[in-house]
Amino acid sequence: MRKLFEMAIIVAVVAVLLASGIRFVLLSNGATESSFVFSVAGDYGAWNGFMESLNQLKQTRSDFAIALGDLSYGGIAKPGLGTEEGWCKEFHDAFQNLVIVAGNHDTGDTLPGEGDINQFAQYCPAPPQFAVNGDYGKQYYFDYPKGNPIVRFILLSPDLVFVFDGGEHYRYNVGTPRYNWTRDTIDQARAAGIPWVIVGMHKNCIGAGEHACETGPDILNLLVGKKVDLILNAHTHNYERSKQLALNADSCAAMQLHIFNGNCIVDDGASQVYKRGEGSVVVIAGTGGRDIDPFNLDDPYAGYFAAWKGNETPGAGKGVVTFSVDADRISMVTNFNGTFSDEFSIAGSGRALMSQSVVQIFPFAAPIVAGAVGFGTGGFLVWRRW
């Protein structure tokens, strides 16, 4: 009888809280609390814009940041900033936990003296809490958090020519070793039950800015075909957030160069909430410091994007994009030093509230009724096991 009474109270409380807009966070049996925040940008350079973006990053309270290449090239905002050691020191003085991947200006393949990714890897090493697998700064992955991972991060270098390493051209065409490595690394994450897969690389394929698809379409089609949750790019010096993309055998077997195919879109992003597992979302964040470039509405790829910020956008600014991640949801918000802003979420598939195998995601949630229901931080209602 007591159980029935408690259940009736719980149902009433849940109904009231749902009506007031509280949302639930549920995890399957055996999961533990695991959530974090990270920020991303590329094309920092060593201009004053780099300093502006560091100020934005400091405000995010991120657990770590990913720099998507083109690190210290172009301009020197203060003495010493143009060297790999000086750039990394400046970054670490502002924000400690940083991981990096190369851009084309970090390989020796452009102008002399722009930066050496091997030196950047020495002075901006992965923090000790990261278990890096692969060639740090070029092609590697890590699972985060290390003890109970909810994301596999995969960092790649498509179309980069590493002059500093004898001129190797990193190709990710179908059947190449690097393509196969990427495919297998995604598959291993799925097999291990890691909830999210996020892939980052400097160069973009689709994008409505100054750069064409320099990576070639094969790597993009691999990622979209595998429905990785997020694809993070820089290289194009603006901000772009795509619609949710997926391949299908009937009308979008592959994304094609210089062609827009609306059949590759599974969610237009207008609601700013994408459904987890339905496809991939591309975020271009070449906003770390260089002057912002236009968004080209006439580009065939423009139709793939739901939101953007170019130099023609009112309130355009520089900075980072910030992601909050738990096992069921990824939420992003821009952190730019202008008035423009964008946000979106990728939400997990709804699981039944009354499941017997759900556990609390926040350890400091206070119980309301018989240890069954509690409030977590940030307005979350959390269901506990009896």
Write down the domain spans for the chain. Answer: 2-25+355-383, 36-347
33-74 confidence digits (pLDDT tens): 589 999 999 999 998 999 999 999 999 999 999 999 999 987
Tell me the pLDDT band of 4, cut-offs 50, 70 and 90.
Answer: low
Cα angle 6-7-12, degrees, rounded to a multiple of 5: 100
| CA distances from residue 324 to 40, 162, 327, 334 in whole angstroms, order as listed | 12, 33, 10, 12
The SS3 of residue 177 is helix
The pLDDT value recorded for residue 348 is 80
Note the pTM of the prediction, 2 decimals: 0.83
Short-list 317, 376, 382, 295, CA closest to 27:
382
Give the dihedral of Cα atoms 291, 296, 297, 302; nearest 10 deg: -100
249 or 368, higher pLDDT: 249
Yes or no: is domain 36-347 CATH 3.60.21.10? yes
Pairwise CA distance, residues 273 & 349, whole Å:
12
Tally of CB atoms within 10 A around 175: 7
End-to-end CA distance of the chain: 16
Q: Are 90 and 122 in contact (CB under 8 A)?
A: no
306-317 confidence digits (pLDDT tens): 999 999 999 999
**What is the DSSP pairing of strand 273-275 with strand 151-156?**
unpaired
Pairwise CA distance, residues 39 & 325, whole Å:
11
Report cis status (omega within 30 of 0) of the bond before 145: yes
Least confident of 23-27, 72-76, 296-300, 321-325: 23-27
Backbone phi, psi, residue 380, to 5°: -95, 140
Token look-up 């799925």 returns: 190
Q: What is the mean pLDDT of residues 284-298?
A: 96
